[in-house]
Amino acid sequence: MPSQIVHCLLCDRRERTARSKFTTIMTVERQEKIYEGYENRHG
């Protein structure tokens, strides 16, 4: 049975990858840091 499809909010992709490979955003501060790092890497 295939794994669930996980939706990435940053890059808007949907993948059948293990949930453990994704980062769970728990706080606003962590969300800001993740978004900032993503913008720096991917423009």
Render pLDDT for 23-38 as a digit per residue (tens, 0 to 9). 777 888 888 888 888 8
pLDDT of residue 33: 87
Higher pLDDT, 22 or 34: 34
User: pTM of the entire structure?
Assistant: 0.50
Q: Contact, 22 vs 8, CB < 8 A?
A: yes
The domains of the chain are located at 6-42
User: Judging by DSSP bridges, how do beta strands 14-15 and 6-7 pair with one another?
Assistant: antiparallel
